[in-house]
């Protein structure tokens, strides 16, 4: 091969869909010469051998989330979930008590809207990712997102307050990164889980300064509590997080840049002006509180659980009344949640459909009183997310 020859090869592509027999028949009836091939133009740095639409590339600017956060890692991998992950703290009493130190039992986001408990000890877990995850052992908040995802619908952005399981997002292109909003001062003892108050933003200050310049605002490490009606002169890390969260929940953004979201960290446009920024911050903040089930909105149940029974999750099905766009979610032969919106049942977060996944993961278990209420909160949260995404879509995002 002549290494000095930089002439690119011609690359052609053709998609063939259908059942196996149909494909065999097509191949028998056609040859390389008479197939209508699509010529590809692979270019650096990504030489794709399938058709890609990068026509929006000139608009896909802004800052990369991979560059914004200083400290990041993938999530926790226990190596033995049956032993170390439990639905309730009380479940650890079934294990040998001497094997567990109570102070090391921490909340973990196991799947979307599915917070369980993890025995978090970096000595015994397969991968504790302690250097980064330790910042969630203090009061914190953060984001989880992947570098790549080829799922048919991109939904891989999630707000988190605690430990995060390595498979809490589903993607066939790798694990999500966990990025705390704040970094706490280092401890000499890896098992010293004491609360620490000294913290600094886990943010690239060059990017933060560019945001500040565009907004003509001053950045502060901690949010300032402005009196109602006062003009805001500063913005804080939580405002940046809420802005990002809103942008990445824009249906137009997700559709316009779907090819780019498959191949690299999401890029977020710099805010156009302060008015747009604060509008998106407000909506992103509402989404954040709803997804953490901390908003009072999720207490306004829109579903009912009308039938008494043993509450054991068995065969799950959704009886959908198309003309009403809602239906019944059966957890077994007789018991169900009524008036579940179809949009909530089919909604994706992190590559999963939480309204379905949460129940499937509890097959064979009895739903307690709190579990029933928790599921009803999930349905409200998913329904409200759909509404808020429509509101975000009405705000111009580059």
CB neighbour burial string for 71-81, b if at least 16 within 10 angstroms, e if fewer: bbbbbbbbeee
In this structure, what token pair is assigned to residue 379? 């349905």
Helix (H) or strand (E) holding 131: helix 130-133
**Residue where the block lists tokens 């197939």:** 35
CB neighbour burial string for 219-255, b if at least 16 within 10 angstroms, e if fewer: beeeeeeeeeeeeeeebbbbbbbbbbbbbbbbeebbe
* pLDDT above 70: residue 39: no
Closest by alpha carbon to 281, among 215, 229, 369, 230? 215
Query: What is the SS3 assignment for 216?
Result: coil
Query: Which whole number is the average pLDDT over 111-123?
Result: 94
Query: Which whole number is the average pLDDT over 159-164?
Result: 95
* pLDDT tens figures, 220-243: 999 887 766 656 899 999 999 999
Range name among 65-79, 261-275, 287-301 with the lowest pLDDT average: 261-275
* pLDDT above 50: residue 119: yes
Question: What pTM value is reported for the model?
Answer: 0.84
Query: How far apart, in whole angstroms, are the C-alpha atoms of residue 235 and residue 115?
Result: 30
pLDDT over 90, % of the chain: 64
Q: How would residue 56 be classed by pLDDT, with cut points 50, 70 and 90?
A: very low
Query: How far apart, in whole angstroms, are the C-alpha atoms of residue 254 and residue 348?
Result: 13
**What dihedral angle (degrees, nearest 10) is formed by the CA atoms of 353, 357, 358, 359?**
120
What distance lies between CA 348 and its chain's CA centroid? 9
Closest by alpha carbon to 159, among 280, 241, 88? 241
Q: How would residue 1 be classed by pLDDT, with cut points 50, 70 and 90?
A: very low
124 vs 228 pLDDT, higher one: 124
**Residue where the block lists tokens 């400290």:** 71
Query: How far apart, in whole angstroms, are the C-alpha atoms of residue 277 and residue 288?
Result: 16
pLDDT, residue 45, reads 57
* pLDDT above 70: residue 256: yes
* pLDDT above 90: residue 398: no
pLDDT, residue 77, reads 95
DSSP codes of every residue in 233-268: -EE-HHHHHHHHHHHTT-HHHHHHTHHHHTTS--EE
* pLDDT above 60: residue 382: yes
Inter-residue contact 313 to 331 (CB < 8 Å): yes
* pLDDT tens figures, 57-73: 555 689 999 999 999 99
Q: How would residue 157 be classed by pLDDT, with cut points 50, 70 and 90?
A: very high
Query: How far apart, in whole angstroms, are the C-alpha atoms of residue 72 and residue 81?
Result: 23
Query: What is the SS3 assignment for 110?
Result: strand
Query: Average pLDDT of the chain?
Result: 86
Query: Which whole number is the average pLDDT over 144-172?
Result: 86
* pLDDT tens figures, 305-354: 999 999 999 999 999 877 788 999 999 999 999 999 999 999 999 999 99
């Amino acid at each position: 091969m002549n290494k000095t020859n930089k002439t690119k090869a011609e690359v052609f592509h053709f998609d063939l869909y259908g059942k196996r027999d149909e494909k065999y028949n097509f191949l028998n009836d056609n040859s390389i010469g008479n197939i209508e091939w699509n010529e590809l133009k692979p270019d650096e740095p990504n030489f794709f051998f399938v058709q890609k639409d990068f026509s929006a590339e000139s608009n896909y600017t802004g800052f990369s989330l991979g560059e914004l956060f200083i400290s990041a890692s993938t999530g926790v991998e226990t190596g033995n979930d049956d032993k170390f992950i439990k639905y309730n703290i009380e479940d650890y009493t079934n294990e040998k008590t001497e094997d567990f130190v109570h102070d090391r039992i921490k909340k973990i986001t196991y799947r979307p809207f599915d917070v369980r408990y993890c025995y978090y000890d970096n000595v015994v877990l397969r991968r504790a990712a302690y250097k980064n995850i330790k910042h969630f052992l203090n009061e914190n908040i953060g984001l989880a997102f992947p570098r790549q995802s080829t799922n048919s619908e991109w939904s891989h952005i999630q707000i988190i307050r605690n430990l995060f399981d390595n498979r809490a997002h589903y993607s066939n292109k790798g694990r999500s990164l966990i990025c705390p909003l704040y970094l706490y001062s280092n401890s000499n003892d890896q098992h010293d889980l004491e609360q620490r108050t000294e913290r600094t933003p886990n943010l690239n200050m060059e990017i933060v300064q560019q945001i500040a310049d565009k907004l003509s605002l001053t950045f502060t490490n901690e949010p300032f509590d402005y009196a109602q009606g006062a003009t805001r002169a500063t913005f804080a890390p939580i405002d940046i997080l809420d802005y990002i969260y809103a942008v990445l929940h824009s249906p137009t953004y997700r559709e316009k840049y779907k090819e780019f979201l498959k191949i690299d960290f999401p890029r977020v446009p710099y805010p156009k002006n302060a008015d747009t920024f604060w509008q998106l911050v407000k909506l992103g903040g509402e989404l954040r509180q709803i997804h953490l089930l901390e908003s009072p909105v999720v207490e306004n149940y829109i579903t009912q659980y009308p039938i008494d029974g043993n509450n054991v999750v068995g065969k799950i099905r959704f009886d959908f009344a198309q003309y009403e766009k809602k239906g019944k979610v059966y957890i077994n032969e007789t018991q169900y949640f009524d008036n579940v919106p179809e949009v909530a049942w089919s909604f994706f977060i992190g590559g999963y459909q939480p309204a379905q996944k949460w129940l499937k993961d509890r097959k064979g278990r009895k739903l307690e009183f709190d579990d029933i209420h928790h599921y009803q909160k999930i349905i409200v949260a998913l329904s409200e997310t759909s509404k808020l995404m429509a509101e975000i879509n009405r705000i111009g995002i580059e």
